[in-house]
Amino acid sequence: MKKIIASLCFMALLVACNTTPEGYTLNGTISGDIKDSTQVFLKKIGDQNQPLDIDTTLIKNGKFSFTRKSGELELQFIFIDKVNGYVPFIVEDGKIELTAQKDSLNFAKIDGTPQNKFYADFSEGMRLLSNKYNSINTDLKNASSSGDTAAKDALQEELKELIEERKSFEINFIKKNPTALISAFLLQGLAASKKFPEEEVKEMFDALSPEIKETIPGKNIAKSFKKAASVKVGAKAPNFSAPTPSGKKLALNDVLGKVTIIDFWAAWCKPCRAENPNVVNLYNKYHEKGLNILGVSFDKKATDWKKAIEDDGLIWNHVSNVKYFDEIAKLYNIKAIPATIILDEKGVIVAKNLRGEALAAKIATMLQ
């Protein structure tokens, strides 16, 4: 009987040692002059980029704790009542240790789980780069104040090199850490910026682990690829409709010509307004040969939109939801203006984001 009991105890211990905890415990230690019963808030960012309250607790003897189910990997934040700053951490099963000083929450240390170690490593690298930036920027201000042109030029070059160093740091981090959630966040930023070749972003995304691809930023990147594919050169332009200045609905498919330019602009956009005379000349020259233009405004006020159309002499078709970067912007993945999409007579995208002489040359070639 004793042997059976001993065997059962050993099995129970073995199971306990090999069971992955279903949830996390975050233990926080805050140094500095902070009163007992000060509230600590656990928050996350919602779908509308607004902070959402998840839980609260109280500080006692400089310590606090949260124990919760973890669910999927995601970034959450610790806020302390009447204390500046916040502490980001990654939710995952296990024990997470947070150590911070009341007056410098942004320099808190997070440890205890693999994803938070990844995040800590990344944060430390970024902190070193930030310190270098602040040092160079201070020297640059001093050089400007003293009129030292040579030093100013040299420091500006150092800043440019530092910007490139930061880009390299982020890219190398992503490539070296395909199982890190922070890699997906960084890659999401690269994809959204449009400043990095899509092929390379896709290659780095493909290298991410299956688990990371299923996180919120991973899914967002996949969606962005799908959306980009739907409006790439060679794809049929997605149809849409919106109100005209008179309030009637007008669809893209209703105004297709032999060549159609979808011109994304706004009254508040100075580069757009500067480009408008070129577009007017192009329209006057080629409209009778089959050029149509559909202006899509991302204005916030209808009065501004309508006045700009009149002031700039934009006599082609126009639509706007007057909602800034709206669902049409999302449909066409437009994040900055001016932007143009050029379509053939079948509504197929043949070119994107041409302006000035390049746009005129393309239209001339298509309507010869």
pLDDT, one tens digit per residue, over 325-362 is 999 998 998 988 999 999 999 999 999 999 999 999 99
Residue 320, sorted as left (phi over 0), alpha (psi -120 to 50) or beta, turns out to be: beta
Identify the weakest region by mean pLDDT among 106-115, 261-270, 305-314: 106-115
pLDDT of 70: 81
Q: State how far the Cα of 188 lies from the Cα of 174, in Å rounded to an integer.
A: 11
User: Could you tell me the CATH superfamily of domain 241-366?
Assistant: Glutaredoxin (3.40.30.10)
Is residue 15 pLDDT above 60, yes or no? Answer: no
pLDDT confidence bin for 48, thresholds 50/70/90: confident
Instruction: Decide if 329 contacts 335 (C-beta within 8 A).
Output: yes
pLDDT of amino acid 8: 33
In this predicted structure, what is the pLDDT of residue 296? 98
What is the dihedral sign for C-alpha 165, 170, 174, 180?
positive
State the CATH architecture for 2-108.
Answer: Sandwich (2.60)
> 94-101 and 24-31: which strand pairing?
parallel
pLDDT attached to residue 333: 86
Q: Can you list the positions of beta strands (E) in the chain?
A: 24-31, 39-45, 51-58, 63-68, 74-80, 87-91, 94-101, 109-111, 241-243, 249-251, 259-265, 291-297, 317-319, 339-343, 349-352
**Beta strands at 317-319 and 339-343: parallel, antiparallel or unpaired:** unpaired
Q: Where in the chain is the domain with CATH 2.60.40.10?
A: 2-108
Q: Whole-number mean pLDDT of the chain?
A: 90
Residue 154's φ and ψ, nearest 5 degrees, are -65, -40
Is the predicted pLDDT of residue 12 greater than 60, yes or no? no
Closest CA to 74 of 170, 182, 171, 223: 182
Span(s) in the chain for CATH 3.40.30.10: 241-366
Statement: residue 9 has pLDDT above 60: no
Backbone angles phi and psi of 161, in degrees to 5: -65, -35
Q: What is the pLDDT of residue 327?
A: 94
Whether 203 has a pLDDT exceeding 50, the answer reads yes
Instruction: Work out the pLDDT band at 47, boundaries 50, 70, 90.
Output: confident
Q: Which residue has the tokens 């996180």?
A: 215
Mean pLDDT of 64-93: 93
